[in-house]
Amino acid sequence: MSDDTDAAAVQLASLAETLADLALDRLRRATESVRTGGDPDPVLLAEEKRITRARRAVEKAVQLLDGPAAGPVDDGP
């Protein structure tokens, strides 16, 4: 991999970690009401799902930049 694509892959991997943290935060916030007997916040749950999809897309981009030696790319949900 060239230096510029390697640098881009590192930046994307960092972004994927940030997105994972954001998704976990939304999930925690969405389920806070469950402890008191309520229902999870559907808006926050939907946001967590959207952020998780974005994280998966970024992780896929990292795999693509790593090249064919990295193995097959999972095109899952």
Report if residue 76 sits inside a domain: no
Residue 10, domain extent: 3-67
Rounded to whole angstroms, the Cα distance separating 36 from 46 reads 21
Q: Kindly report, residue by residue over 33-75, the tens digit of the pLDDT.
A: 888 889 999 999 999 999 999 999 999 999 999 876 545 556 6
Residues 6+ apart with CB under 8 A from 33: 39, 40, 41
- For position 33, what pLDDT does the model report? 85
Report if residue 38 sits inside a domain: yes
Assigned token pair, 5 = 């694509």
Q: Which residue has the tokens 């390697």?
A: 6
Number of domains composing the chain: 1
pTM tops 0.85: no
Q: Compare 77 and 36 and report the one with higher pLDDT.
A: 36
Q: Which residue has the tokens 């959207």?
A: 50
